[in-house]
Amino acid sequence: MIHCIFNDPKNFAGDPPLTEKDIWNYAEMFCSGDIDYSTSTFPAYIEKIENNDQNFFLQKTISYGDFLMIAFFIIFFVGVSVMGIRDFVKNRKLERL
């Protein structure tokens, strides 16, 4: 089991918060304890990545929001590319005349 203590709360600007509702982040985090990863059951879509002094967990799935953003950017870039190619071809035809 891991027990964490969060110290030095900060607001969005990085200043000490005036009220409890202004707390957005903490400057320090101290954790003690350990997780036995051999007996822990993680879903198949979560992968543990070990570094020299830290452990990271990577979720290997795409959420609905990720899908919408990717689809929007693909449509945007394809549209910009088609418009650029169309304008280039149209200007080349005018130069020939």
8 A C-beta contact, residue 49 and residue 57: yes
Task: Report the pLDDT value the prediction gives residue 86, as an integer from 0 to 100.
Answer: 92
Q: What is the pLDDT of residues 2-15, one digit of tens each?
A: 778 888 888 878 78
Q: How many domains does one find in the chain?
A: 2
> What is the extent of the structural domain holding 7?
2-61
Distance CA 78, CA 20 (A): 47
Q: What is the pLDDT of residues 36-91, one digit of tens each?
A: 666 556 566 677 778 787 777 787 788 899 999 999 999 999 999 999 999 988 88
56 & 94 share domain: no
88 & 57 share domain: no
Residues linked to residue 49 through DSSP beta bridges, in sequence order:
56
83 & 50 share domain: no
Integer CA distances (angstroms), 32 to 4, 5, 10, 82, in order: 6, 9, 22, 56
Q: What is the pLDDT of residues 29-40, one digit of tens each?
A: 887 777 666 655
57 & 67 share domain: no
82 & 97 share domain: yes
Question: What is the pTM for the complete model shown?
Answer: 0.42
